[in-house]
């Protein structure tokens, strides 16, 4: 089965960020997920383009930038310049969703839309041709370490079917509460990319062990008891 692992730096040690991203890349991470929070769209504040540019030379995998900000557009050029490969945003945070998607591609990045657990997939009706990634949140955005909301699973299945039919090249990513139990469930339901913060960076054996443990769990598939 095809899937990629995107460790989220939100749970990394920010004093040793270069070392942390190098460790997860070496352990087989396929992307680095970069959570940007503005204390406005979400009630938390993280990092911006300066930190993105600072980690860029430390890894060669794509940087997957998840913008939890409002407004969105004025940050697109800065993140493209900082080395973002993918830029995703929440549709309700942009006044003109299609314009923002075009802007991201004009800056040479892949474009993604992010769906909170309560955000309906109806946003996909008129945006699929401008999308490289659909990111389904399995927690409400703002914090790492939350519990996976299993109620999003029917939406994940619907999104998989829709993308298979209408946009087979568009990737489907799941973000929030992904661990050794929920990750395999999300992959079995059709996720291509798994974001994992706590599960990777808070692993008792360190982040490299976290990536490897998640990959092993994904190879085994969902536990029979769940």
Residues serving a catalytic function are 35, 175
Q: Which of residues 83-122 bind ligand DX5 (CB under 6 A)?
A: none
Q: With respect to ligand DX5, which residue has the nearer C-beta, 126 or 180? A: 180
Q: In terms of CB distance, is 171 or 175 closer to ligand DX5?
A: 175
Rg (CA), the chain: 16
Backbone dihedral region for residue 15 (phi beyond 0: left; psi -120 to 50: alpha; all else: beta): alpha
Joined together, the tokens standing for residue 186 give: 């999300």
Each residue 136-175 as x (binds Zn ion by CB under 5 A) or -, in order, gives ---------------------------------------x
Residue of the chain from 49, 83, 141, 183 that contacts ligand DX5 (CB under 6 A): 141
> What φ, ψ does residue 74 adopt, rounded to 5°?
-70, -10
Report yes or no: 17 and 11 within 8 Å, Cβ to Cβ: no
Q: How far is 131 from 110, CA to CA, in rounded Å?
A: 8
In the complex, residue closest to Zn ion by CB: 66
Tell me which of Zn ion, ligand DX5, none is bound by residue 144, counting a contact when its beta carbon lies within the kind-specific cut-off of 5 to 8 angstroms.
ligand DX5
Q: How many residues bind Zn ion (CB under 5 A)?
A: 3
> Are β-strands 32-37 and 193-196 bridged in parallel, bridged antiparallel, or unpaired?
unpaired
User: Is the CB of 83 or the CB of 141 nearer to ligand DX5?
Assistant: 141
Tell me if 142 contacts ligand DX5 by CB under 6 A: yes
Nearer to ligand DX5, 39 or 161 (CB): 39
Side-by-side strand order, sheet with 63-68: 4-7, 193-196, 171-175, 133-137, 110-115, 86-89, 63-68, 32-37
Smallest distance, ligand DX5 to C-beta of residue 220, A:
19
């Amino acid at each position: 089965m095809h899937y990629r692992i995107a460790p989220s730096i939100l749970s990394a040690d920010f004093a040793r960020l270069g070392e942390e991203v190098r460790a997860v890349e070496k352990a087989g991470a396929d992307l680095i997920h970069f959570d940007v929070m503005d204390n406005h769209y979400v009630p938390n504040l993280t990092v911006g383009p300066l930190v993105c540019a600072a980690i860029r030379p430390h890894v060669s995998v794509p940087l997957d930038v998840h913008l939890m900000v409002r407004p969105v557009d004025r940050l697109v050029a800065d993140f493209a310049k900082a080395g973002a490969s993918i830029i995703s945003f929440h549709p309700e945070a942009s006044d003109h969703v299609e314009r923002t998607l075009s802007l991201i591609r004009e800056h040479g990045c892949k474009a993604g839309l992010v769906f909170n657990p309560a955000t309906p997939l109806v946003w996909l009706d008129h945006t699929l041709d401008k999308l490289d990634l659909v990111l389904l949140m399995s927690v409400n955005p703002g914090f790492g370490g939350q519990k996976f909301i299993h109620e999003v699973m029917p939406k994940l299945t619907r999104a998989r079917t829709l993308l298979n039919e209408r946009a087979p090249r568009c990737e489907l990513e799941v973000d929030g509460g992904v661990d050794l139990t929920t990750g395999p469930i999300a992959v079995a339901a059709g996720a291509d990319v798994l974001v994992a913060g706590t599960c990777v960076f808070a692993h008792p054996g360190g982040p490299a062990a976290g990536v490897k443990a998640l990959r092993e769990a994904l190879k085994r598939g969902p536990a029979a008891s769940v």
